[in-house]
């Protein structure tokens, strides 16, 4: 039999502080469930971005935009530990090397499965792709709804945040940037 997760005692204490009985029916297994959920929500700390990408790098003579868009993600805001969620769009211009397309959503998932802020998440994805691929340019755009803005504080239900990290040709070449942004708007419903 394995030892209980140390998070369980913390959840029991929190439930007591909130005025609940952690032993009552319905809450008696909550500490275990929360501990398991938190381990899943923060499993990205146990992953290495370079291991995710390095086994799927390929030398290819292709120098046009590669775009993977509408990558769904869920993360926890580091300020309130409340979820934020949305879509990530990643584009890059290869410089003799590409990465397997499925690795980009895996990279997004790894960084999202940490306590985060949207701005850092955006930058981490771009920096990692830039470092591993050495592409001519990288662009990352994230659209996300934040429950900390919806459930507490300002309590605005329809607002969402957009962040971007544009590097290389995405930053310096207006045509490349316009192509990338245009493809993000093409044939899609508004973020909901």
The number of folded domains in the chain is 2
Same domain flag for 62 and 138: yes
Q: Identify the pLDDT of residue 153.
A: 82
User: Residue 190 domain-assigned?
Assistant: no
pLDDT tens for 121-135 read 999 999 999 999 999
94 is in which domain, residue-wise?
47-185
> Which of 179, 177, 93, 181 has its CA nearest to residue 134?
93
Query: What are the residue ranges in the chain where pLDDT is below 50?
Result: none
User: Residue 191 domain-assigned?
Assistant: no
Same domain flag for 90 and 140: yes
Same domain flag for 100 and 68: yes
Q: Identify the pLDDT of residue 190.
A: 52
pLDDT tens for 18-49 read 999 999 999 999 999 999 999 999 999 999 99
Same domain flag for 27 and 77: no
Q: Is 116 left (phi over 0), alpha (psi -120 to 50) or beta?
A: beta
Active site members: 77-80, 118, 146, 148
Q: Identify the pLDDT of residue 88.
A: 98
Q: Identify the pLDDT of residue 189.
A: 58
**Could you tell me the CATH number of the domain that includes residue 114?**
3.30.1130.10
Q: Which residues lie across from 59 on neighbouring strands?
A: 97
Q: Identify the pLDDT of residue 2.
A: 79
């Amino acid at each position: 039999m394995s030892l209980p997760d140390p998070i369980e005692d913390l959840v029991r204490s929190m439930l007591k502080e909130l005025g609940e009985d952690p032993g009552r029916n319905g809450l008696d297994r909550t500490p275990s469930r929360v501990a398991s959920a938190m381990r899943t929500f923060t499993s990205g700390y146990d992953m290495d971005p370079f291991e995710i990408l390095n086994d799927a790098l390929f030398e290819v003579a292709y120098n046009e935009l590669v775009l993977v868009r509408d990558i769904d993600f869920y993360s926890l805001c580091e300020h309130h530990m409340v979820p934020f969620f949305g879509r990530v769009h990643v584009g890059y211009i290869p410089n003799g090397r590409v990465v397997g397309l499925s690795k980009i959503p895996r990279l997004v998932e790894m960084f999202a499965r940490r306590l985060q802020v949207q701005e850092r998440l955006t930058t981490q994805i771009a920096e990692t792709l830039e470092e591993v691929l050495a592409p001519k340019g990288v662009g990352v755009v994230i659209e996300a709804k934040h429950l900390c803005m919806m459930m507490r504080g300002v309590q605005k239900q329809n607002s969402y945040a957009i962040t971007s990290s544009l590097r290389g040709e995405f930053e310096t070449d207006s045509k490349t940037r316009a192509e990338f942004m245009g493809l993000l708007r093409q044939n899609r419903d508004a973020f909901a």
